[in-house]
């Protein structure tokens, strides 16, 4: 059992990390940090622009730096980017500095939730299902490697998913 006072959320694109993370932070009285939003705040431009200018490698460097800085804080709920787990150093920081919650989502759930989203650079192109499947093949085992608790996705509202997550977290997370 990980007794950390931080709750770090990992999972695939469209799993609800930001939406559920905000509700968890409110429920537990903790600060909320979304790493992608922090990148946008620091850079002053959308993540898509960072990708255009610096490519994925530049984005990942910024993501790692902010994750390292943000994970040092105490009493936070942090939503990571879906690909943050690709870097072994990020995985180590997440596992060492927080209780890691893995929000899961099926391909169908992701496609449904992201149907209108045109802001995510890694989903640009014609075949989103193929891209999401390729990301899952590369990332799923990495989420599992560091997760203290996995929350299966379900077809439900954010409010219901948050309530279900809180029930599961309360059964497993000792702060």
Q: Which residue stretches of 6-46 are H helix?
A: 17-28, 35-43
pTM of structure? 0.88
* Annotated binding-site residue? 60: yes
- The answer to whether the annotation marks 17 as part of a ligand binding site is yes
67 alpha-carbon distance from chain centroid = 11
Closest C-alpha to 82, from 65, 99, 67, 72:
67
58 carries a ligand binding annotation = no
Token pair 């919650």 in the structure block, residue: 101
Domains of the chain, with CATH numbers?
Answer: 7-172 (3.40.50.300)
Rounded to an integer, what is the distance from CA 88 to the centroid of its chain? Answer: 16
Q: Is 157 annotated as a binding residue?
A: no
Q: Is 139 annotated for ligand binding?
A: yes
Flag whether 71 is marked binding.
no
End-to-end CA distance of the chain: 10
34 annotated as a binding-site residue: no
- Alpha helices (H) in the chain, listed in sequence order: 17-28, 35-43, 47-70, 88-97, 107-113, 128-146, 158-172
- Helix (H) / strand (E) containing 102: strand 99-103
Residue environment code for 40-63, b if the CB has 16+ CB neighbours within 10 A, otherwise e: beeeeeebbebbeeeeeeebbebb
Report whether 120 contacts 51 (CB < 8 A): no
Pair of tokens at residue 104: 């899961």
The DSSP H or E segment spanning 106 is none
pLDDT of residue 132: 83
Q: What CA dihedral angle connects 142, 59, 63 and 123, to 10 degrees?
A: -50
User: Is residue 22 marked as binding?
Assistant: no
pLDDT tens digit at each of 175 positions of the chain:
455 789 999 999 888 899 999 999 999 999 999 999 999 999 999 988 998 899 889 999 999 999 999 999 999 999 999 999 999 999 999 999 999 999 998 888 877 766 666 666 556 666 878 888 888 999 999 999 999 999 888 777 788 889 989 999 998 886 6
């Amino acid at each position: 059992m990980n007794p950390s006072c931080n709750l770090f959320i990992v999972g695939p694109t469209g799993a609800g990390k930001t939406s559920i993370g905000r509700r968890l932070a409110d429920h537990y009285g903790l600060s909320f940090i979304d790493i992608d939003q922090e990148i946008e705040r620091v850079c002053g431009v959308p993540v898509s622009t960072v990708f255009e200018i610096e490519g994925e490698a530049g984005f990942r460097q910024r993501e790692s730096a902010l994750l390292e800085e943000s994970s040092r804080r105490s009493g936070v709920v942090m939503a990571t980017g879906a690909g943050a787990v690709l870097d072994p150093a990020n995985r180590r920081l997440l596992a060492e500095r927080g209780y890691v919650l893995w929000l899961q989502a099926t391909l169908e759930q992701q496609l449904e939730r992201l149907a209108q989203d045109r802001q995510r650079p890694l989903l640009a192109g014609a075949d989103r299902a193929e891209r999401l499947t390729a990301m899952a093949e590369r990332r799923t085992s990495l989420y599992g490697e560091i997760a203290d608790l996995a929350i299966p996705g379900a077809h439900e509202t954010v409010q219901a998913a948050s309530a279900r997550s809180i029930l599961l977290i309360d059964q497993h997370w000792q702060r």
